[in-house]
Amino acid sequence: MLHIKCPYCGLRSQKEFSYGGDANVKRPKLNAEVTDKEWDDFVYMRKSPKGHHLELWHHTSGCRQWIKVKRDTITHEIYQTAKIEEQIS
Amino acid sequence: MQNYSIFSLVKNAFSNHQNWEVAWKDPEPKKEYDAIIIGGGGHGLATAYYLAKEHQLTNIAVIEKGWIGGGNVGRNTTIIRSNFMYDANARFNEFGMDLWRNLSLELNFNVMFSPRGIINLAHSDAQMNAYARRGNSMRLNGIDAVLLNREEVKKYIPMADFSDDVRFPIFGGLMQPSAGTARHDAVAWGYARQADSMGVDIIQHCEVTGFEIKNGKILGVNTSRGNIKTKKIGLCVAGSTNLLAEKLNMTLPIETHCLQACVSEPVKPLLDGVVTYGAGHFYISQSDKGEMVMGGDLDGYNSYAQRGNLPTLQHVLTGGLALFPFLSRQKMLRTWGGVMDMSMDGSPIIDKTHIDGLYINCGWCYGGFKSTPVSGWTFAHTIAQDRVHELNSKLSLNRFTTGELLDEKGLGTKTWIG
């Protein structure tokens, strides 16, 4: 069981969260001209690193806020969590 | 190579089974090969076997960082089926079913292919309609599909919960009678033994550390046991695909996730074929040893840990208990996890890449085992002929850019939905 520290609610069980994937993926600017490749990269292409991974989680059964989580994809250790607008090193 | 038969068994019994030949050798890597397959799992070994058998390429090697058959081919739930709706997936896997039917004979190794059928259960009228559609698509591709009503399902699985007050009553199901299971380890060993006998070097404990590429051409591979020259490399590394892609400066439409499975203690024969629950993600079959073999959802977040997390297992087995209440009285024997190369549309990729001489085989998601023979067969063709076969022409790497997705059931990682 993962325990994720929501920056709004504190330490909660993983059962309250849903996963939102790689937090480094940037959506192309709205209404801007985008190439097929840019859109492809945004929708489908993922690095999926082994080790440190910066990712999005949604506190679905809690405050319903999206948060950032820095987690290890081998040990599942969670190093840091932050609000969506905050930077994680 | 020593032939396996009742006679060789009897003969070796007289010497207390001390004089069996080794099934495959343990060679030192040569300086150069015509082609190298990275990954000694089911798909990699099958690819090597078909390269040697169908394309007479025998100066080749399979390199594996661990031991052969130690990854997903030794961790899956052994289900073999071709109940797909889309032409590309259906034809690909039905070709594979033909390979499966003859595999034990061809490999002279009993892979215990046991076609006892698969039933996908439906729990609503809408689901029955969807299955009728899928069944019709399958039959148009020459695959056996039978739509069962509630009473017909009951004949197959009388121990399921058919009471009236359940949340998701069984309306019926779609059955593929020719689907089944096989002994997963035997598939890897059988392919390894035959490939080895045709001259393929199977090199274990040999990890890839880098690639030699010049002017967009593959020149060789660097490994923990030295640098090896080759002009053709086939990647067959399932859950490690993203890691090798990183060494190649490639980004793929793949995420690596953990999928769990579990078995109960063995019990007497109870369940004949494979059954999948339609109101949750849960599937079950009974092994030849009598264990109930079960699986379901991914853990739900990127993972390279070959072990799972309890909340997912609990969620999967909740669905299982709703379908088969008798499971509540069974003890769990083992649970384990494997890392899956989840493609973004749920279908695999077998294709050439932008690097000359580099071929890729990945994106098997939940179901790589069933496609082991056909994956090896088509991948061998792609590598040997330097062009895709018609069977894998739609399993392309660029379909995510062109939009020709094969989103069979929306089973990809779905990360963009969140």
Overall average pLDDT of the A47-54 stretch: 96
Q: Out of B252, B300, B305, whose CB is closest to A74?
A: B305
Name which of B328, B278, B322 is nearest B165 in CA terms: B322
For strands B208-214 and B146-149, give the pairing.
unpaired
Name which of B335, B293, B329, B333 is nearest B314 in CA terms: B335
Going by C-beta distance under 8 Å and a sequence separation of 6 or more, which residues neighbour residue B9? Answer: none
Distance from CA of A44 to the nearest CA of B (A): 5
Instruction: Give the residues across from A11 on adjacent strands.
Output: A5
Residue B97 — φ and ψ, nearest 5°?
Answer: -60, -40
CA of B107: how far to CAs of B53, B81, B205, B352, in Å?
11, 20, 25, 28
Going by C-beta distance under 8 Å and a sequence separation of 6 or more, which residues neighbour residue B308? Answer: B258, B259, B260, B299, B335, B336, B337
The interaxial angle of helices B42-55 and B184-197, nearest 10 deg, is 40
A43/A61 Cα distance (integer angstroms): 26
List the domains of chain B with CATH numbers: 28-82+85-108+184-253+345-402 (3.50.50.60), 118-180+256-343 (3.30.9.10)
Burial B253-281 (b: 16+ CB within 10 A, else e): bbbbbbbbbbbbeeeeeebebbbbbbbbb
| Per-residue DSSP letter, B323 | H
Encoded amino acid at B120, one letter: N
Encoded amino acid at B186, one letter: A
ipTM reported for the complex, 2 dp: 0.95
* Angle made by CA atoms A66, A70, A72, in degrees to the nearest 5: 130
Encoded amino acid at A18, one letter: S
Q: Residue B415 and residue A46: Cβ atoms within 8 Å?
A: yes
Nearest CA in chain A to B240: A50
Name which of B72, B77, B128, B124 is nearest B284 in CA terms: B77
Residue A38 — φ and ψ, nearest 5°?
Answer: -60, -40
Portion of chain A with pLDDT greater than 70, in percent? 100
List A residues 8-67 in contact with B (Cβ-Cβ < 8 A). 13-15, 18-22, 36-37, 40-41, 43-50, 53, 55-56, 58
* Disruptive mutation site among A42, A45, A46 for chain B (greatest number of B CBs within 10 Å): A46
* Angle made by CA atoms B255, B261, B264, in degrees to the nearest 5: 175
- 3-class secondary-structure state, position B417: coil
**Chain B CB within 8 Å of residue A89 CB:** no
List the domains of chain A with CATH numbers: 3-83 (3.30.2270.10)
Instruction: Give the residues across from B35 on adjacent strands.
Output: B60
Q: Out of B302, B310, B311, whose CB is closest to A48?
A: B302
Going by C-beta distance under 8 Å and a sequence separation of 6 or more, which residues neighbour residue B210? Answer: B221, B222, B247
List B residues 285-324 in contact with A (Cβ-Cβ < 8 A). 300-305, 309-311
**Chain A CB within 8 Å of residue B418 CB:** yes
Encoded amino acid at B264, one letter: S
**Chain A CB within 8 Å of residue B255 CB:** yes
Going by C-beta distance under 8 Å and a sequence separation of 6 or more, which residues neighbour residue B190? Answer: B103, B104, B107, B108, B109, B111
B416/B34 Cα distance (integer angstroms): 41
Q: Residue B242 and residue A50: Cβ atoms within 8 Å?
A: yes
Listed as ranges, residues in chain B with pLDDT below 70 are 410-418
Q: Out of B251, B309, B413, whose CB is closest to A47?
A: B251
| pLDDT at position B414 | 62
**Chain B CB within 8 Å of residue A3 CB:** no
Q: Which residues of A touch B418 (CB under 8 A)?
A: 18-21, 56, 58
